[in-house]
Structure 1
């Protein structure tokens, strides 16, 4: 966020403590617009523990109503779900207040408080990196019920979207009992496949929530792949989203549209499925073709999409979730060679291209002698390896193997500019 934008948000937080309830609603609405206009466009605002503690103190001093608090937290949570911002809610006093409120409201079981309970559950899931199992057992069924509403008006659709987006914020390492979600989330996904009654973001969120449960229960693969046709649906959604983006608009401005943000979420989800969750589905030729199209369409202003697309192709080749013939035939090998030779390539894309080439050359060697049509495969392998050698990429991947143990993305060590130049120009 620009300095002026950061200052404006800080001013609005300060103003909240010094005005009446109606004026607070107006300020929160303005904040929401500020988040949409600034934070969601690749900018930054730190939601610190101290800030959440200030909000908690305002509630304690009756300077901020819980109704307005919920509206504010949902605004912050929505942005966090789309952009994964710096939100330090878990260690705040406000988190403790929210947890107690959910448990108390759940015990009351008064119908008039159901809407408020759903909203406070959304806030809790949106902002928490870690959720307690007791709270999940309260939040998950209620939000799934809210997401199952069939009304098609705009307000109802937005409510469904918020409920599913909050559910998708439950981290993949969190365990949720199957009986709390399986039938309901399957029905929501199947209903959309028949009637297309969800927004793109809501549908993606439903899938992400479901897929992240897969890591704890491998038996869900039959439902995910064979009954709900995950790969086909993901491909269909990515194709529609790719067509809906004007890729030349705003080039170089460092901004993302909502459609681009959903594409990034889809790519991250798919990467986790093939890599972390180890969802290995054979084939996937159409998904490969779709990701290649997306990689070529993305340009300077959406390098994050290109980075994630190549990362996904690398995960698919590494986990043997795509055939070598499909990787070559659908253009994945060619698009990686195209990208790595671009003079303006950033280091994230360089690293992913190198990892792809590394895994791809390993895959070629590993599969030698394991194909039914061995003669044709050997011909394909020889042709690809010759092209890699002609372009110098065998030397590049060999060098990359030598230095890669010394840097690790998870620990914040990355290739620098000189490394990038070395590998591209070797």
Structure 2
């Protein structure tokens, strides 16, 4: 529909030559399966990368290279957004506004101040909102498709728990730079030889003093290419197994590679290292009432119900447990009066977790929107625990999951890209 509207606008403008001379028309730049990428989208992403690079005082390659990398990122986003449409994944306006509110809060500003900062950067707030919405949708698509590709055996968890015990409290963390010279999903010997040669040339340039971030933006097929290949801080047990084995015993500033995997040839740079102090694990005891909007119950009405329940509970006119049993749409907790028991807050969806983080024991949240619906939450208690074997197993499982999720995401994206019809116009 977007393409049809653009075409109609073009026809109208061509009917009036003076307008056509003054207007800068948008155009379709890439066809991606059932969707398109517009020239304006490419220009916007290139401008964003340049703006971020300027803020970070980072050197950038030519505009042509930036355009190529931006097109690749937009192709992957388009494919994931098309999949989201087929899966029926949506993010409502209330959920979006709550997420933006949380982003502003994490930066220590109000939403109004965030809007003001965006305006100073010449970024439209409406465009920013849609970018956040798309990030949330893409996140749900990835989790839905990649999670089912991951299988973790009890033996893997047991082995990592043993390794963590041997390492003790001082587990190494690495800030890694990453360049991937990618391969197609079913590479020929010629594909492999060419990728290996390119990887060796890249490593030679880096050893001769070339800027890692600039080379990553220019050459990398990795998902973090436009960020200069920065993977951030990774626990040794959370990074891909190949990387973990390669970085052990290496020092800050060292280059590693090329390392061969199914995705291609990897080059790593250890930007920095640090130890991990012993961390206590927080657990929360909470309860909630969930109201799910539907065809007959609007978003506003669902929220209003919880506002009313909250006031009734505070005024001692109603009992939380009784309201949960009667009204909550969460069958698992409703029969228990909304009780969720003791749990690691990280197991909850982001909006729920953030609401708990802002509550003191005994306090009630205002109605908050998550992917499940509207919640009224009470934090009953909070405790810290780092001594149980169960906690060690949970931590080991999460580290393995994070590592495999990262590996499988790259594979899934590559397979989806290879299977798609793509035409750069």
- TM-score tier by shorter-chain length is under 0.3
Select the structure that is richer in helix: 1
Select the structure that is richer in strand: 2
TM-score by length of 2: 0.24
- The higher-RCO structure (CA 8 Å, 6+ apart) is 2
TM-score by length of 1: 0.24
